[in-house]
Amino acid sequence: MTLHFFATTPKALEGILTDELRALGISEFKATTAGVAFSGDLEMAYRVCLWSRVANRVLLVLSSFEIRSQDDLYRAIQQINWFEHFNAEDSFAVSFSSKNSTVITNSHFGALKVKDAIVDQMRAKFGVRPSINIERPNIRINVHLNGEKAELSLDLSGESLHKRGYRDVSIEAPMKENLAAAMLLRCGWSVVAAEGKSLLDPMCGSGTLLLEGAMIAADVAPALGRDYFGFLGWKKHDAECWQNLRRDAEWRKIVGIKKLPMIVGFDKNKNTVNTALKHVANAGLEGKIHIERRDISDAKPPESWEKGLVVCNPPYGERLGDEAETAILYEQFGQTLKTNFVGWQAALIISNPELGFRLGIRSHKPITLFNGALECRLLRLSIEEKAFFIPKEKLFEPRIEQPVAEPIKPRIEKIIEIAQAEMVDENTEKFDAPMFANRLQKNLKKLSKWAKQNQVFAYRIYDADLPEYAAAVDVYHCEKTWVNVQEYQSPKSIDQEKADARLAGLLAEIPSVLNVPKSQVLLKIRRKQRNTDQYEKQAESEIFHEIIEGGCKLLVNFENYLDTGLFLDHRPIRLKIQKEAKGKRFLNLFAYTGSATVHAAVGGATITTTVDMSNTYLQWAKNNLALNITTGRHEFIQADCVEWLEKEAKTAARQYDLIFLDPPTFSNSKKMDDVFDVQRDYIQLIQNSTKLLTKDGILYFSTNFRKFKFDVSEFKNLNITEITAQTIAEDFSRDMKIHYCWKITKMSHDF
């Protein structure tokens, strides 16, 4: 049964919560301000309660209704059979919030109205009334009124999920646990921890950042230590399901703790250190986190520690009550970092931007977070000896003859000029490229092993992992190793000189990190395309390179076109087609360079039909096929796929066992009579394609349109299964929206 939920989170953490939901297997969700709506079964909601590190509450939506008078609220609440949810002898509590309403503006009044409706119903049925328990009721009811629309929910979490269970309730924390977790996640601690690197908080306070860091590193469910949830007293609670989830989490904790890296905290206050140690023991991590009394000026890691992340929540100024003293503390902290933590990353959260300058270290772009109602900035720092300069011998000298059209070319030349400068002027954005180099090195370590194991010779190694370096980096192992760099077009709000400097810094690091000659690194500027830009030749010389994929030989070109001729993200679906093609008739629509056709032919397809509008790419497809030893009959058709499909569907004379339909997002080519829009036209495309599909045939439909919405209700006689997750390979797993894919078959009418 599909249920509807809403997970709340502090403002500015919606993106992290969305990533968590996706990682938990939730595919239907929608982010809004301070929360994410999602759909699934009860087990899925339990997983979010147990595993979300940034959510506050998980609400089960019971009903929605309109309120035009105060009596409307009372009547709507009475329409729910509350005995299905709790007994008359149980306790409950009501949370009510109102926004943009002229009917009920006082939240306390609204809560009383809801309470009266529930109590009156129970008293009328059973002669007794349930009690009110504000702290830990059997169930907690939530009503949110926005204008005239109200949403009634059960609070499955019961109390805020930031309460993990390890904190001494008598001690007020300067930072909530879910904010601490978000801070660590935004700094990439999960990746750093997986590499066995260290975590240090030199002003650890009660140990919140250390504990959240340890739970992330050890794969510990953040709510595993809680003894209260809102669903435990709910009559529809699935105790067996919950216990199974807890047992799995307990086992993962046992395994994960054995892999904990070095996690250390310092604080100058003796009482605070004792509190932190108590919290560590409460969390079951005694002996796994080292905490000692030490002043910030004495913070220094032994040489045996793996250089990792320094993270802290320093005083904002209010805690010390003296702005001058706080400023001195920040200067001291900055000096400690520069002296004792070279090669480390650092992160801290501040409320006063002026204090950040006291550190004396250039930070990456600040990230806005909220500590309660207080707006803060998360600063991320790379502590390097020469953070502002690039040694001359590492300078990148990209080739001038890049596959870019005017007026982009002058910008390339400008970037080259920047990269060849010995240092950057004070008024120019600094090269801060070591951060990019570190991420590229981490990705290389992970992906090169995966690529070797899976015989992958062309893969994406970096895809705008760091917002400051908005580029994709692809590695192609042909007769030589080539690196194809594509910069994504910067928003208009980004200063062009800064973007150029960052791109130059990125280019400077690639040859040394990937161990390739500078001449084998090529740069392209990717921008929003006009009409047929993707089909326009960008350079005159035609140099092709042969790549191997799944035993198929394919030609790629790094210079003549913006795309190389091989969409790397579609590798899994091409391999799937190859595996399923034996003895089948295969149709490749919007075929581009025919790589899917080659896979089908090598896989043993008896017939292949390749349709594309561009003669250039059809010839490329023919050349690709000619490289491979295949049997069967192969047909290439130059045509507008939309028109060709419509014509063929009228007679359905051609029939295929396997069809690959991968249309562009948008096109208004001169060769087409009408504008093509995939969101508007996909229904007709699929309907026409399935008319060419045999009774037991399979149609694979794919799109790269990130905002694409598939309306299954438009297709009454088809079985439609989304298989996107199966078609995202390891090298694209950082961006699950790179494409979407569905498997479509005809419904059987045999009874």
Closest CA to 561 of 626, 628, 486, 481: 486
Q: Are residues 611 and 739 in the same domain?
A: yes
Decide if 731 is inside a domain. Answer: yes
Q: Are residues 140 and 276 in the same domain?
A: no
Query: 309 near 201, Cβ under 8 Å?
Result: no
Decide if 629 is inside a domain. Answer: yes
**Across 16-36, average pLDDT:** 94
Distance separating alpha carbons of residues 749 and 751, to the nearest angstrom: 6
Predicted local confidence at residue 523, as pLDDT = 85
Q: Are residues 689 and 551 in the same domain?
A: yes
Distance separating alpha carbons of residues 258 and 306, to the nearest angstrom: 17
Decide if 611 is inside a domain. Answer: yes
Among 498-502, 646-650, 665-669, 700-704, name the one with the lowest average pLDDT: 665-669
3-state secondary structure 137-161: CCEEEEEEEECCEEEEEEECCCCCC
Distance separating alpha carbons of residues 572 and 82, to the nearest angstrom: 49
Decide if 696 is inside a domain. Answer: yes
Predicted local confidence at residue 491, as pLDDT = 59
The encoded tokens of residue 414 equal 């400008």
Closest CA to 535 of 488, 579, 592: 592
Helix (H, G, I), strand (E, B) or coil at 394: helix
Closest CA to 293 of 310, 276, 318: 276
Among 393-397, 572-576, 597-601, 688-692, name the one with the lowest average pLDDT: 393-397
CATH code (residue 13):
3.30.2130.30
Q: Are residues 553 and 673 in the same domain?
A: yes
Question: Which residues is 743 bridged to in the sheet?
Answer: 700, 721
Decide if 238 is inside a domain. Answer: no
Closest CA to 314 of 279, 346, 275: 346
Predicted local confidence at residue 252, as pLDDT = 95
- With 70 as the cut, is the pLDDT of residue 145 above it? yes
Provide the domain limits for residue 583. 545-746
Distance separating alpha carbons of residues 674 and 680, to the nearest angstrom: 12
DSSP conformation letters of 190-230? HHHHHTT--EEETT-TTSHHHHHHHHHHTT--TTTT----T
The separation between the first and the last C-alpha atoms of the chain, rounded to the nearest angstrom, is 26
pLDDT tens digits, one per residue of 639-686: 999 999 999 999 999 999 999 999 998 775 544 455 788 999 999 999
- With 90 as the cut, is the pLDDT of residue 498 above it? no
Q: Are residues 119 and 208 in the same domain?
A: no
- State the angle between helix axes of 641-651 and 678-691 in degrees (0 to 180), rounded to the nearest 10: 30
Query: 51 near 250, Cβ under 8 Å?
Result: no
Burial class from Cβ neighbours inside 10 Å (0-12, 13-18, 19+) for residue 13 reads buried
Q: Are residues 327 and 396 in the same domain?
A: no
- With 70 as the cut, is the pLDDT of residue 409 above it? no
Q: Are residues 730 and 595 in the same domain?
A: yes
Distance separating alpha carbons of residues 478 and 547, to the nearest angstrom: 5
* Eight-state DSSP code of residue 363: B
Question: For the chain, what is the domain count?
Answer: 4
Predicted local confidence at residue 384, as pLDDT = 84
Distance separating alpha carbons of residues 93 and 482, to the nearest angstrom: 63
Decide if 533 is inside a domain. Answer: no
User: What element of type H or E holds 94?
Assistant: strand 91-99
- With 60 as the cut, is the pLDDT of residue 432 above it? no
The encoded tokens of residue 102 equal 């002229």
**18 or 668, which is more confident?**
18
Closest CA to 283 of 263, 313, 308, 307: 263
* 521 CB-near residues (< 8 Å, 6+ apart): 396, 398, 482, 483, 485, 507, 510, 511
Burial class from Cβ neighbours inside 10 Å (0-12, 13-18, 19+) for residue 738 reads buried
CATH code (residue 425):
3.30.750.80
Closest CA to 91 of 131, 136, 134, 118: 131
Predicted local confidence at residue 388, as pLDDT = 35
**Across 442-459, average pLDDT:** 94
Q: Are residues 189 and 299 in the same domain?
A: yes
Q: Are residues 403 and 372 in the same domain?
A: no
Q: Are residues 365 and 425 in the same domain?
A: no
Q: Are residues 316 and 419 in the same domain?
A: no
> For 586, left (φ over 0), alpha (ψ -120 to 50), or beta?
beta
Write down which residue in 330, 362, 382 finishes a domain.
382
CATH code (residue 309):
3.40.50.150
pTM for the model stands at 0.55
Among 21-30, 188-197, 318-327, name the one with the lowest average pLDDT: 318-327
Decide if 514 is inside a domain. Answer: yes
> What is the total residue count of the chain?
751
401 falls in which pLDDT band (50, 70, 90)?
A: very low
Predicted local confidence at residue 221, as pLDDT = 97
Estimate to the nearest angstrom the gap between the alpha carbon of 98 and the chain centroid: 32
Distance separating alpha carbons of residues 395 and 421, to the nearest angstrom: 8
Neighbours of 627 (CB within 10 A): 13
Write down which residue in 382, 411, 431 finishes a domain.
382
The encoded tokens of residue 378 equal 């998360």
Helix (H, G, I), strand (E, B) or coil at 554: strand
Residue 241's identity, in one-letter code, is: C
Burial class from Cβ neighbours inside 10 Å (0-12, 13-18, 19+) for residue 50 reads buried
**Across 724-729, average pLDDT:** 94
Query: 363 near 355, Cβ under 8 Å?
Result: no
Predicted local confidence at residue 410, as pLDDT = 54
Q: Are residues 73 and 147 in the same domain?
A: yes
Question: Which residues is 257 bridged to in the sheet?
Answer: none
Distance separating alpha carbons of residues 554 and 565, to the nearest angstrom: 9
Write down which residue in 528, 553, 579 finishes a domain.
528
Decide if 249 is inside a domain. Answer: no
CA distances for 536 relative to 451, 587, 667, 676, angstroms? 32, 26, 14, 18
SS3 percent helix, strand, coil of the chain, rounded to 5, is 35, 25, 40
Ranges of beta strands (E only) in 563-641 are 585-589, 607-612, 633-638
- Kindly report the average pLDDT of the chain as a whole number: 87
Characterize 118-149 residue by residue with b for buried, 16 or more Cβ atoms within 10 angstroms of its Cβ, and e for exposed.
Answer: bbebbeeeeeeebeeeeeebbbbbbbbbeeee
Helix (H, G, I), strand (E, B) or coil at 634: strand
* Eight-state DSSP code of residue 349: E
pLDDT tens digits, one per residue of 89-104: 999 999 999 999 999 9
Query: 413 near 502, Cβ under 8 Å?
Result: no
Query: 179 near 371, Cβ under 8 Å?
Result: yes
**703 or 464, which is more confident?**
703
Question: Which residues is 32 bridged to in the sheet?
Answer: 35
Query: 206 near 171, Cβ under 8 Å?
Result: yes
Predicted local confidence at residue 524, as pLDDT = 78
* 409 CB-near residues (< 8 Å, 6+ apart): 402
Among 97-106, 170-179, 257-266, name the one with the lowest average pLDDT: 170-179
In this structure, which long-range contacts are made by residues 169-175, counting pairs with CB atoms below 8 Å and at least 24 apart in sequence?
171/206, 171/275, 173/205, 173/206, 173/208, 174/205, 174/313, 174/319, 174/371, 175/208, 175/209, 175/313, 175/349, 175/371
Closest CA to 50 of 219, 258, 278, 235: 219
Which phi and psi (to 5°) does residue 91 adopt? -110, 155
Which phi and psi (to 5°) does residue 281 adopt? -65, -40
Closest CA to 438 of 215, 195, 214, 259: 195
